[in-house]
Structure formats: C-alpha cells, structure tokens
Structure 1
C-alpha cells in the first residue's frame, strides 16, 4: 500500500498551494490547519528546508462517519496534504492515502469511508496535474 496519493506540478510554490486548496475545496475538503514547516524549522532550530507546507484537510461528512465507527480515528484526522518544492520550478503535492487509516485500525467499518476519501483526494490531486 502506498503512503501517499501524489502528483508533481510545474508552478510557482505559492500558486501550487493555492491551487491545492482550491482542488481540495472542489472535493468538499476545507483546510483547518496550515503549517509552514520550512519557516517553523528555520525559526525554531535554524534548519534550512525547501518550501514545505502541511495542509490539514477535512471533509466534515467523512470525518463524522469515521468517528462514528471509531472514536480514536481522530488521531489520524484531518487528512494531511503536503505541498513541497521538489526541483527547478516543480512542486510535489502529496495526500495521505486514507487506506492507511483502515490498515492501522484494521476496522472493516472504516473501509467505505476510506474509499470515498481516497476517491475525493485522488480527484483533487489529479486535477492539479491536469
């Protein structure tokens, strides 16, 4: 099982972040958190890192279904989406594969939730590569 659903886009970094947020919104995901990991590491420990943002995306109906099956599933929510500079003019966008949630919990009740989340996240990521 792959850890991520991913694509690489040719775009300025800030544009890729904006496009990612828009693609997620088209699939019913809001961005609850945005962590600028490169800025945080620079500030806290002086470490240099390429542009790297972690978006905490949430689809409320899917989140509700998931916590209805397993209250501890909140430990794996929201779905993390990473936008990171990956080369000369390219940006990699990666979403956590929701199937990991099923594998970690081994709860068959989460299968339909993970399948729908996978479909929606894959559509958002695919839209970036189009």
Structure 2
C-alpha cells in the first residue's frame, strides 16, 4: 500500500490551493498553518525550482477524540498536506493517516479514527481535482 495519497490536478497551483482551502470546511477541517518552501528557501539564499506548499490542517472534533484516546497521536497532528508543481504539472496529497498511526500502535479504535480522517481528506482531494464547481 502507498504511504502517500496523491492526485494530479488539472488546475494551476493557485487554483488547486484555492479549491483545497474552500473544500476543507465541508469535512470540518481548516488550515492552521501554511508554508511555501520555494519562498522560504529563497529568503535563505537557496533556490527551489518549483513551488511546494505545505499545509497543516485540523478537524478539532477528530483531534480531540484521538488525543484523549492516546496523547502520543499528537506527534502526527495536525495532518500535513501538500500541493506542488513539477515539470509543469500540479499535484496535491498527504501522508496516509492510517499508515502513520500504524507506525505507533495497532489500536483498532485509533485506526478507525485515522480511517475517518483519511477518507475525509481523500474525498477533499478528489473534489479538488474534479470538474465539480467549487465556491472559492
């Protein structure tokens, strides 16, 4: 099984990110923090060829459940997602929460929470790259 869920976007990077941010609330998520590695590395005197954005996203209800079940899940929170350009193509994805939690514990309840989060975020990615209209 792949450790990463990733889809190619038919949109430019700016539109892909706008669609992503607009769709997050539909599943109870929001962006807590974001970083454009290209800009940050440029500030430090380095040159990254393509834009690579990282987003930390959170669904407070789900975070509350997993943290109260086992505090060490906080090592994986918030969920990290990325959107980037490479060779003229745009991609969006995330490391799979189910695979991350399996690294720490075989606990079935935590796995079920991770599955819920993964399904929700994968649904968002599917909608980002679809032709479905999104209110931005």
Q: 2: CA distance between counterparts of 1:63 and 1:30?
A: 12
SS in 1 for 2:49: coil
Q: Is the CA contact (8 Å cut-off) linking 2:28 and 2:59 kept in structure 1?
A: yes
Q: How many Å apart are 1:94 and its aligned residue?
A: 0.7
| Alignment-derived partner of residue 43 in structure 1 | 43
User: Does residue 5 of structure 2 align to residue 5 of structure 1?
Assistant: yes
| Alignment-derived partner of residue 33 in structure 2 | 33
SS in 2 for 1:120: helix
CA shift digits 1:42-64 (9 cap, x unpaired): 11142323111101010111111
Q: How many Å apart are 1:118 and its aligned residue?
A: 1.1
4+ runs deviating over 6 angstroms:
none
| Alignment-derived partner of residue 113 in structure 1 | 113
| Alignment-derived partner of residue 61 in structure 1 | 61
User: Does residue 60 of structure 2 align to residue 94 of structure 1?
Assistant: no
For structure 1, the 5+ residue unaligned runs are: none
Q: What is the RMSD computed on CA atoms of the aligned residues?
A: 1.4
Q: 1: CA distance between counterparts of 2:87 and 2:28?
A: 30
SS in 1 for 2:110: helix
SS in 1 for 2:121: helix
Q: Is the CA contact (8 Å cut-off) linking 2:67 and 2:74 kept in structure 1?
A: yes
Q: 2: CA distance between counterparts of 1:82 and 1:58?
A: 14
Q: Is the CA contact (8 Å cut-off) linking 1:7 and 1:128 kept in structure 2?
A: no
Q: 2: CA distance between counterparts of 1:66 and 1:98?
A: 12
| Alignment-derived partner of residue 17 in structure 1 | 17
